[in-house]
Amino acid sequence: MLAAFVLTAQLFVVAAIYSAYALVPPTHSDVVFHWDLDTAKGFERVMMDPGVRFSDSPVFVLRQGTTGSLNITLTSFEKQITVLVGSWKYGGIPPWNSGWSAGGGPYYRTLDGITYKFNPSNLTLTPGSHATVTMQITAAPDTEVRSYNLSVSLELTGINIEQVGYSTILTIVEGNPLTANTTNTTTSSGSVPQMLPRR
């Protein structure tokens, strides 16, 4: 009798857990982030990280005192939910060479000598739609010559609010005002789409 009661209680608990999971919506938005590297302008070079096979981290090589730009495409595969995109940032955690940050926390910083702009800064992705944002990065003439691990960070509001980040390597090289600044795009497999992390 006691065994039957315990078994019934266990089945009830399992059913309650499954019911709770069924009532809780997924905690991610079904959106794909895509670096349009072929649209890059003003950089010395853009490429996927040559040091990591199948890397999804682009490398932007930019001369001191110049500006580079490229497009980012976001595509929603949501069926019913409209996703709002905003709060774009470009930065990381000093000393800039030990990993990436999604843009949260007290240690996240914008790199001295680097300014950036995202246009437009806010997007509305209706179900099944896509939109393009232009990212612009400017290096001051005195920006330190070296490589930096920086993240493009953004906020999605749809099913819930998500702060997500995409890793990049920004390499600053010595400025030369006599050199025409044209971008050389090198990729091993074209532009790389990135799924937003499922939490």
- Tens digit of pLDDT for each residue in 134-186? 999 999 999 999 999 999 999 998 878 888 888 899 999 998 755 545 566 55
Domain positions in the chain: 30-186
- Residues of the chain with pLDDT > 90: what percent? 47
pTM for the full model? Answer: 0.74
**Cα 164 to Cα 78: distance, rounded to the nearest angstrom:** 17
Q: What CATH number labels 30-186?
A: 2.60.40.10
* β-bridge mates for residue 69, sequence order: 41, 136
**Cα 131 to Cα 13: distance, rounded to the nearest angstrom:** 45
Q: What is the pLDDT of residue 125?
A: 92
Q: What is the pLDDT of residue 165?
A: 87
User: In sequence order, which residues have a C-beta less than 8 Å from that of residue 116 and are 6 or more positions away?
Assistant: 90, 110, 135, 136, 137, 138
Q: What is the mean pLDDT of residues 33-46?
A: 94
Residue for token digits 């819930």?
A: 160
Q: What is the pLDDT of residue 55?
A: 63
C-beta of residue 114 within 8 angstroms of C-beta of residue 139: yes
Cis-peptide, bond into residue 95, ω within 30° of zero: yes
Element (H, E) at 58: strand 58-63
Element (H, E) at 88: strand 83-91
Residue 54 — very low, low, confident or very high, per pLDDT cuts 50/70/90? Answer: low
Residue 28 — very low, low, confident or very high, per pLDDT cuts 50/70/90? Answer: low
> How far are the Cα atoms of 37, 64, 99, 125, 166 from residue 172, in angstroms, in the given order?
18, 6, 18, 34, 19
